[in-house]
């Protein structure tokens, strides 16, 4: 049993201005735990009559400042928990903090760059790497992914469904057994045998989460997500199975409804947005108080599921995510306070072992039979029926293996059946008698042989030597022929590999299956590869399903989508990732070729060594000399070359493996971005359609009677317009180009003559500074937009 309090860590999200002046400081002196001091700026503390504290200090196991990267977080926080899982203990890592403070970034990772992948993908990678290394146990891994929104659980890994809203997902409910164990009804468990399969499940869940998200339910902000890795392990032959669960939890945003409020108090307790977080806090408070017998776990789904993680059988770690900007000071302090309470909770993790019921039944059946047999002997109840042929054969096999067993302690287990015991004695007697007769005959034949042996004649000896020489020459000729043939075959294989590589490069991954243990044919059709392609198919079909409508798009809509895509803020990231992907592919291709080369070199070296060895032996025989006992220089040289080549092969293979993971991750990110893009386009399109239905005079972008304007090459700038207007490609593009930028415009501190100047800037009629379209309706829309915007700016200036 491992007793441990919940470990708490803090992570500070990078701010626009790095290290905002005087808001916080981190003290990492070695004497005590690192501490985070949050300083309330004077302008926030001012105006309160009560004697406000100006700074707050909190201790954490470790504090990760703004520049800490995802790798550091994983190494320090999640890796130790993953190690506990592998040892058979339950683990939980949960992120807690206000909206936008970096919970999802920390747990799942950023959606853009490979290096931003978070704790979940890194943990999966680590766990599968360790499982591969450990051949002493049989491991089984399953994944589940649950979302809790408004006290309802939803299964994010339902592969069949076409979720367009959260309610379409299967609902998960809690069941409690008499031992108060929690079971989740309707939550699907999916076996993952490789890291890739597990990552695909993560991707599927994230995509379902994104698709099901509505503006009212901003998935990541208002809901909790629990990604669970279920790991079972068993030693071969043993009936004991270990089960361990790792929950990786992304909680909902923790902010309160009322922050400071007019005349209100800074840093005061207020209502919670999220009831389940409120219940979570109640559980934490109850657990951190001594002598509390009742812990209100049952109040919410979240706390029921995390029961073991909080004050139970689990190694739990909390990450307090902080966005330490001036406006977030109160939320940050409340997050830290929450963490301090969590740090008081003690957990007791035990190994979760159970006996495999199937193996247990077999064992018990055997024991019953043995007891029955023993009883029969004791009670004198004899079995009279003769042993069957199969039973006799089985017995004889047992006796043979017993006799062959070198272990002096070994026993012949035939059970308490007198018939069997008698048969054993008979059989052994027979063996012994046979041996005696056989022994005599072999001894006499040996004597005869010895008698007939005479020293070899000189002539006969010479004859034999000649034959040997002849055979040696034949062997050399054959070996050379074989080498030539092998080289031809390898060249042909290499060529076909290059061709297929080209093909695969165009479609998917350039990676060879195989492991590090030894060279394998690079592109043989192994099960891994088959699975790779099915996973890819699954993924592409998923993306197609999620983005599905494209094939049914009308030409105009497709065109609109192309422009939408081009102008979308994510297009740069997608393009960047595409470039990186290309680079990685060509690196992988080059590596693949080098690996092939190294492999054939290894083959050649091995052959040369064998050849050399044969020559040495043949020389020894032909010269009638013993094989030289000292080291053969040439062979040693060849061996060291072989070792070097193997090392090179291993290094390249490891790099190729890492590249494979990176490429797959990048492909997932891009798939995700595509789904997001399509979704946003559909939402925008629907909105525009309904807007135009209400106001048909505004134009007819959906009727496709007017083709979309072609943007001349020179004009293809991408102004960052607000979402509602950013893609206004149905109006004149040149007009779009000169619309004022929606970015912040600095207000003059003294708005003298503002009205006049604004009026001046809004011409009643088209003037040269605002090129209009000539279409009166569109032009009046443009002018109305400019005027509305100026009004807003004007209001802002006067505020």
Nearer of residues 220 and 596 to ligand ATP, judged by Cβ: 220
- Residue among 99, 348, 387 at smallest CA distance from 219: 99
Q: Are 318 and 342 in contact (CB under 8 A)?
A: yes
Residue 140 assigned ligand-binding role:
no
Could you tell me how many residues of this chain bind ligand ATP (CB under 6 A)?
15
| Residue 510 binds ligand ATP, judged by CB under 6 A | no
Three-class DSSP category at 186: coil
381 dihedral zone (left: phi>0; alpha: psi -120 to 50; beta): beta
If you count DSSP H runs as helices and E runs as strands, how many of each does the chain have, helices first? 22, 17
Name the minimum Å distance from CB 6 to ligand ATP: 20
Of these, 34, 88, 91, 102, which contacts ligand ATP (CB under 6 A)?
A: 102
Task: Name the residue whose CB lies closest to ligand ATP.
Answer: 102
| Residue 118 binds ligand ATP, judged by CB under 6 A | no
| Residue 513 binds ligand ATP, judged by CB under 6 A | no
| Residue 335 binds ligand ATP, judged by CB under 6 A | no
Percent helix, percent strand, percent coil in the chain, to nearest 5: 55, 15, 35
420 alpha carbon, distance to own chain's centre = 56
Nearer of residues 3 and 18 to ligand ATP, judged by Cβ: 18
Residue 699 assigned ligand-binding role:
no
Of these, 321, 347, 547, 790, which contacts ligand ATP (CB under 6 A)?
A: 321
- DSSP per residue over 219-231, as a string? HHHH-EEEEEEEE
299 alpha carbon, distance to own chain's centre = 32
| Residue 121 binds ligand ATP, judged by CB under 6 A | no
Nearer of residues 196 and 255 to ligand ATP, judged by Cβ: 255
Of these, 7, 61, 90, 104, which contacts ligand ATP (CB under 6 A)?
A: 104
Q: Which two tokens stand for residue 193?
A: 């045998």
Q: Which two tokens stand for residue 591?
A: 């590596």
Nearer of residues 78 and 602 to ligand ATP, judged by Cβ: 78
Strand residues in 428-549 grouped as ranges (E): none
Name the one range near ligand ATP by CB under 6 A: 103-111, 417-425, 613-621, 680-688: 103-111
Nearer of residues 14 and 556 to ligand ATP, judged by Cβ: 14
Residue 743 assigned ligand-binding role:
no
Name the minimum Å distance from CB 211 to ligand ATP: 16
Of these, 6, 8, 9, 13, which contacts ligand ATP (CB under 6 A)?
A: 13
Beta strands 240-250 and 91-97, pairing class: parallel
Q: Kindly identify the residues of this chain, within the stretch 266-295, that bind ligand ATP according to CB under 6 A.
A: none
Strand order in the sheet with 55-59: 24-27, 35-39, 55-59
Q: Kindly identify the residues of this chain, within the stretch 201-220, that bind ligand ATP according to CB under 6 A.
A: 220
Name the minimum Å distance from CB 65 to ligand ATP: 10
Residue 98 assigned ligand-binding role:
yes
Number of other CB atoms surrounding residue 755 within 10 Å: 11
Nearer of residues 207 and 220 to ligand ATP, judged by Cβ: 220
Q: Are 622 and 468 in contact (CB under 8 A)?
A: yes
Of these, 20, 110, 556, 763, which contacts ligand ATP (CB under 6 A)?
A: 110
| Residue 573 binds ligand ATP, judged by CB under 6 A | no
Name the minimum Å distance from CB 225 to ligand ATP: 9
Of these, 61, 101, 317, 334, which contacts ligand ATP (CB under 6 A)?
A: 101
Name the one range near ligand ATP by CB under 6 A: 93-101, 474-482, 716-724, 733-741: 93-101
Whose tokens are 């409910």? That residue is 173
| Residue 15 binds ligand ATP, judged by CB under 6 A | no
Residue 774 assigned ligand-binding role:
no
3-class secondary structure per residue, 331-373: HHHHHHHHHHHHCCCEEEECCCEEECHHHHHHHHHHHHHHHHH
Name the minimum Å distance from CB 335 to ligand ATP: 10
Q: Kindly identify the residues of this chain, within the stretch 687-746, that bind ligand ATP according to CB under 6 A.
A: none
Q: Determine the Cα–Cα distance for residues 329 and 60; give it in Å rounded to an integer.
A: 18
Encoded one letter per residue, x for contact with ligand ATP by CB under 6 A and - for no contact, window 574-613 reads ----------------------------------------
Q: Determine the Cα–Cα distance for residues 71 and 64; give it in Å rounded to an integer.
A: 12
Nearer of residues 101 and 509 to ligand ATP, judged by Cβ: 101
Q: Which residues contact 732 (CB under 8 A, 6 or more apart)?
A: 709, 772, 773, 775, 778
Name the one range near ligand ATP by CB under 6 A: 99-107, 296-304, 518-526, 528-536: 99-107
Max CA pair span of the chain? 133
| Residue 100 binds ligand ATP, judged by CB under 6 A | yes
Residue 47 assigned ligand-binding role:
no
Helix locations, 508-550, DSSP H: 527-547
Whose tokens are 């297929």? That residue is 500
Q: How far apart are the two ends of the chain, measured CA to CA in Å? A: 63
- DSSP per residue over 610-624, as a string? HHHHHHHHHHHHHTT
The number of C-alpha atoms within 13 Å of 451 and in the hemisphere containing its C-beta is 6
428 alpha carbon, distance to own chain's centre = 59
Q: Cα angle at 207 between 67 and 218, to 5 degrees?
A: 70
Of these, 105, 279, 653, 685, which contacts ligand ATP (CB under 6 A)?
A: 105
Name the one range near ligand ATP by CB under 6 A: 94-102, 168-176, 287-295, 471-479: 94-102
Nearer of residues 104 and 232 to ligand ATP, judged by Cβ: 104
3 alpha carbon, distance to own chain's centre = 29
Name the one range near ligand ATP by CB under 6 A: 96-104, 119-127, 380-388, 524-532: 96-104
Q: Kindly identify the residues of this chain, within the stretch 16-75, that bind ligand ATP according to CB under 6 A.
A: none
Q: Kindly identify the residues of this chain, within the stretch 238-257, that bind ligand ATP according to CB under 6 A.
A: 253
Residue 237 assigned ligand-binding role:
no
The number of C-alpha atoms within 13 Å of 520 and in the hemisphere containing its C-beta is 14
Q: Determine the Cα–Cα distance for residues 786 and 792; give it in Å rounded to an integer.
A: 10
Q: Are 301 and 151 in contact (CB under 8 A)?
A: yes
Q: Are 430 and 392 in contact (CB under 8 A)?
A: no
Name the minimum Å distance from CB 723 to ligand ATP: 17
Neighbouring-strand partners of residue 37: 25, 57
Q: Determine the Cα–Cα distance for residues 91 and 93; give it in Å rounded to an integer.
A: 7
Nearer of residues 228 and 321 to ligand ATP, judged by Cβ: 321
Residue 97 assigned ligand-binding role:
yes
Nearer of residues 15 and 282 to ligand ATP, judged by Cβ: 15
Nearer of residues 250 and 532 to ligand ATP, judged by Cβ: 250
| Residue 97 binds ligand ATP, judged by CB under 6 A | yes
Of these, 76, 221, 476, 615, which contacts ligand ATP (CB under 6 A)?
A: 221
Name the one range near ligand ATP by CB under 6 A: 100-108, 120-128, 715-723, 747-755: 100-108
Q: Which parts are annotated binding residues for ATP?
A: 97-104
Annotated binding site: 97-104
Q: Which residues bind ligand ATP (CB under 6 A)?
A: 13-14, 97, 99-105, 110, 220-221, 253, 321
């Amino acid at each position: 049993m491992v007793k441990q309090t919940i470990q708490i860590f803090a992570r500070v999200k990078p701010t626009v201005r790095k290290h905002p002046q005087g808001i916080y400081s981190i003290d990492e002196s070695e004497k005590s735990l690192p501490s985070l001091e949050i300083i309330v700026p004077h302008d926030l503390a001012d105006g309160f009559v009560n004697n406000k504290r100006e700074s707050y200090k909190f201790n954490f196991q470790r504090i990760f400042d703004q520049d800490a990267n995802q790798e550091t977080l994983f190494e320090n926080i999640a890796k130790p928990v993953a190690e506990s899982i592998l040892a058979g203990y339950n683990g939980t890592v949960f992120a807690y903090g206000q909206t936008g403070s970096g919970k999802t970034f920390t747990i799942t990772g950023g959606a853009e760059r490979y290096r931003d992948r978070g704790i979940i993908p890194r943990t999966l990678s680590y766990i599968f790497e360790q499982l591969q290394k450990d051949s002493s146990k049989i491991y089984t891994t399953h994944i589940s992914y649950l979302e809790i929104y408004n006290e309802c659980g939803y299964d994010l890994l339902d592969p069949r469904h076409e979720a367009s809203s959260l309610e379409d997902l299967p609902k998960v409910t809690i069941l409690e057994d008499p031992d108060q164990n929690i079971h989740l009804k309707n939550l699907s468990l999916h076996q993952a045998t490789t890291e890739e399969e597990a990552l695909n499940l993560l991707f599927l869940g994230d995509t379902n989460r994104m698709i099901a998200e509505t503006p009212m339910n901003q998935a990541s902000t208002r809901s909790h997500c629990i990604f669970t890795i279920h790991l079972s392990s068993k030693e071969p032959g043993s009936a004991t199975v270990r089960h361990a669960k790792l929950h990786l939890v992304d909680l909902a945003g923790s902010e309160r409804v009322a922050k400071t409020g007019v005349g209100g108090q800074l840093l005061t307790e207020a209502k919670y947005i999220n009831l389940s977080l409120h219940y979570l806090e109640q559980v934490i408070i109850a657990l951190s108080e001594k002598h509390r017998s009742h812990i209100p776990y049952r109040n919410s789904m979240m706390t029921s599921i995390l029961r073991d993680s909080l004050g139970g059988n689990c190694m739990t770690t909390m990450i307090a995510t902080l966005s330490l900007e001036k406006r977030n000071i109160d939320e940050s302090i409340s997050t830290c306070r929450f963490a301090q309470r969590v740090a008081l909770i003690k957990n007791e993790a035990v190994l979760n072992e159970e006996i495999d019921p199937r193996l247990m039944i077999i064992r018990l059946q055997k024991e019953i039979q043995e007891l029955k047999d023993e009883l029969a002997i004791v009670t004198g109840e004899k079995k009279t029926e003769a042993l069957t042929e199969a039973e006799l054969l089985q017995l004889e096999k047992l006796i043979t293996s017993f006799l062959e067993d070198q272990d002096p302690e070994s026993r012949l287990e035939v059970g308490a059946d007198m018939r069997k015991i008698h048969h054993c004695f008979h059989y052994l007697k027979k063996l012994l008698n046979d041996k005696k007769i056989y022994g005599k005959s072999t001894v006499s034949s040996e004597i005869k042989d010895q008698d007939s042996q005479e020293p070899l004649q000189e002539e006969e000896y010479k004859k034999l030597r000649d034959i040997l020489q002849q055979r040696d020459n034949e062997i050399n000729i054959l070996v050379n022929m074989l080498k030539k043939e092998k080289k031809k075959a390898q060249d042909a294989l290499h060529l076909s590999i290059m061709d297929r590589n080209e093909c695969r490069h165009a479609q998917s991954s350039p990676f060879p299956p195989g492991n590090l243990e030894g060279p394998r044919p690079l592109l043989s059709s192994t099960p891994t590869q088959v699975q790779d392609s099915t996973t890819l198919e699954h993924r592409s079909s998923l993306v197609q399903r999620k983005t599905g409508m494209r094939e049914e798009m009308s030409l105009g809509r497709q065109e609109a989508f192309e422009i939408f895509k081009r102008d979308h803020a994510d297009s740069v990231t997608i393009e960047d990732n595409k470039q990186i992907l290309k680079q990685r592919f060509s690196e992988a291709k080059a590596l693949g070729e080098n690996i092939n080369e190294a492999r054939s070199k290894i083959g050649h070296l091995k052959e040369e060594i064998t050849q050399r060895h044969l020559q040495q032996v043949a020389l020894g025989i032909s010269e009638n000399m013993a094989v030289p006992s000292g080291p053969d220089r040439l062979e040693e040289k060849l061996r060291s070359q072989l070792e070097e080549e193997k090392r090179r092969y291993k290094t390249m293979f490891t790099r190729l493996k890492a590249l494979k993971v990176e490429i797959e991750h990048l492909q997932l990110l891009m798939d995700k971005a595509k789904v997001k893009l399509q979704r946003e386009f559909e939402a925008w399109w629907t909105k525009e359609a309904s807007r135009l239905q209400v106001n048909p005079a505004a134009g007819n972008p959906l009727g496709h009677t007017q083709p979309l304007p072609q943007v001349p090459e020179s004009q293809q700038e991408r102004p960052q317009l607000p979402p509602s207007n950013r893609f206004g490609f149905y109006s004149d593009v040149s007009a779009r180009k000169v619309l004022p930028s929606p970015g912040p415009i600095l207000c003059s501190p003294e708005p003298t003559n503002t009205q006049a100047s604004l009026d001046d800037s809004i011409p009643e009629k088209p003037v040269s500074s605002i090129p209009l379209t000539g279409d009166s309706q569109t032009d009046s829309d443009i002018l109305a937009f400019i005027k509305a915007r100026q009004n807003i700016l004007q209001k802002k200036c006067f505020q």
